[in-house]
Structure 1
Amino acid sequence: MDDAQLAAELVREAGSLAAAMRRDGLDAETKTHVSDIVTAADRAAERLVVERLREARPDDAIVGEEGADHTGTSGRTWVIDPVDGTYNFHRGLDWWCSALALVDGDDVVLGAVHHPQQDATYVGGPGLPPTRDAVPMAPLEDRPLAECCATTYLHPPFYDGEVGAAFARAVAGVATLRMMGSGTLDAMAIAEGRCDVLFQHSVPDWDRLPGAAIVRGVGGESRVVEAGGRSWHVLGVPSAVAEVCDRLEQE
């Protein structure tokens, strides 16, 4: 089984397990913030993926949001987000997914995402034409920021100060804005042309890499820039990414 097939299987299994556990009822624990939580489903889904990867790719490293950390010898690393959008997941909202990325050397080569609500599985990367349920995805249509639907998230405590000012500069250039609660599913909306650009600060690899791989595969761009004392991930159609980065970096 090749890497893309394996990744697609793993995110489908992880997403299905999490969805089944949610139907049975779940408690949540707070991590860093009232909206930053973890459930037993996050941990169980991550264990499932880790066990399968350890068997199928024993020489590869593994890093997971919920603590998985295995050293490898191949130079490749699998990055796991068992449930992206856990707050949505726990509150009964449907904008959540299971995601996985493969990094080889210094760059991501593969992303896989499963959205249980739509039973949709996305796989692809910068050198692997992305698909949704094995159907090729269309290239992105570039457009200026002023015509873009942006998707993002900013915790209310950050609305003031330098971070809030940087965010306001970026938001001022867009046509409309959505805050939906799963950065990876937001990236899939961009990959399918339903949104156009994403920007968010302090994004860990498991929240950034699966979506970035697939968006880059359909002609989008992914950049990390410094603004307001934070690192911002900007993802989407090329013209909008360039303008958002310019706006964020203005002082």
Structure 2
Amino acid sequence: MGSVNEPADRTPATDTEDGPRIKELRELAIHIATGAAEMAARMRHEGVAVAATKSSSTDVVTEADRATEQHIRELISRARPDDAILGEEGDSVSGTTGLTWVVDPIDGTVNYLYGIGSWAVSVAVVEGEPEPTSWRTLAGSVVAPRLSEVYSAGAGEGATLNGRPLRLEPHSGLSDSLVATGFGYESARRTAQGRVVAQLLGSVRDIRRMGSAALDLCAVAAGRVDAYYELGTKPWDHAAGALVAREAGAWVGGLKDDERESERMLVAANPGISKQLRAALRDAGA
């Protein structure tokens, strides 16, 4: 499977036996995510309604979340009926190919609800058990229709934004780094996360909270922020975005060198500051 942060400039997948498969899966991920994003944007224009809440009263699900995920599932089942599906809003679907599509129909639902443009559709396909600590992400796409942005990546193929290659330049110095983060929906967790931010704030340039894990990861890939960290993200929140960041050259994992990204902690950072940031997070009690 390779190391946690295999260099993005390794031999392109298209030069290997796996290359054509990854290219095909990447194109399909882009197609599905783009179509679903257009549907979600149209539904938002027509009006949005809260369908339910989940972990707390602030953790909302809209009718568009459910309709968009159903649309994604139908597209996947039509194109690859034997693959498994893991989505945020519906039951898991088993498969026989060893591949699982991990989908978030609207990442940044609160932004979507309030008419803030920082939300996206995230579609990824992984190989192996559908668990971030063990899977291998083959391809993924994150599409933000209100920002007119289509991110995509394939394992060993690099990452792109609207077709333009993304490649990070090394950045050193945590004190002049812009760091993004996110907060959980439960009050007690947010309070604890706030204490970590308060301690970290004096060690970095500034903090940003944009409300979409998928787009935070893509922002790292695009160099718009130098790092992103968050506790409590789910597999569908980061499956595609983590691949985009990693393929752009970012360090992606947990708090330790040998940890994969997981619900316990997700860190994505310019490789020049990843060790400093993770040490600062540990010191802050993250």
- Cα distance in 1 for partners of 2:278, 2:217 equals 17
Give secondary structure in 1 for the equivalent of 2:233.
coil
Structure 1 partner of 2:144: 115
**Structure 1's 68 and 16: CA in aligned 2 closer, same or farther, altered over 3 A?**
farther
| Alignment map for 1:181-200 (pairs within 5 Å) | 181-200=211-230
Deviation track 1:71-99 (CA, whole Å, cap 9, x = no partner) reads 11111111000100000001111110101
Stretches of structure 2 lacking an aligned partner (at least 5 in a row): 1-22, 129-134, 257-262
Matched, 1:158 2:180: no
- SS of structure 2 residue aligned to 1:231: coil
Root-mean-square deviation (Å): 2.0
Q: What amino acid is aligned across from residue 281 of structure 2 in structure 1?
A: L
Match of 2:282 in 1: 249
Shift of 1:231: 1.3
Structure 1 equivalent of residue 209 of structure 2 = 179
Please state whether the residue corresponding to 1:33 is helix, strand or coil: coil
Tell me the alpha carbon deviations over residues 103-144 of structure 1, each in whole angstroms, 9 at most, x when there is no partner.
Answer: 112222222011101222111044121112222223343332
Matches within 5 A, 1:92-103: 92-103=115-126
Q: Equivalent residue of 2:139, what SS?
A: strand
Q: 1:159 to 1:14 in 2, by over 3 A?
A: closer
Moved over 6 A (4+): none
Letter in 2 for 1:185: L
Q: CA deviation at 1:164?
A: 4.9
Q: TM (normalized to structure 2)?
A: 0.80
Amino acid at match of 1:232: M
**What's the TM-score once normalised by structure 1's chain length?**
0.90
Letter in 2 for 1:221: W
Q: Match for 2:42 among 17, 20, 31?
A: 20
**Which residues in structure 2 correspond to 1:73-112 (within 5 Å)?**
73-105=96-128, 106-112=135-141
Equivalent in the alignment of 2:254: 224
Whole-angstrom CA distance in 2 between matches of 1:53 and 1:160: 39
The verdict on how the C-alpha distance between 1:15 and 1:244 changes in structure 2, with shifts beyond 3 A counting, is same
2:3 is matched with which residue? none
Aligned length: 247
Q: Contact conserved, 1:126 with 1:216, CA < 8 A, in 2?
A: no
Which has the larger share of strand?
Answer: 1
- For the pair 1:211 / 2:241, whether they are aligned, the reply is yes
TM-aligned CA distance change 1:140 to 1:214, over 3 Å: farther
Look up the match of 2:175: 146
Contact 2:26 2:154 in 1 (8 A): no
Q: Tell me the equivalent position of 2:11.
A: none
Contact 1:50 1:68 survives alignment (8 Å):
no
1:50 match: 73
C-alpha separation in 2, matches of 1:152 and 1:53 = 31
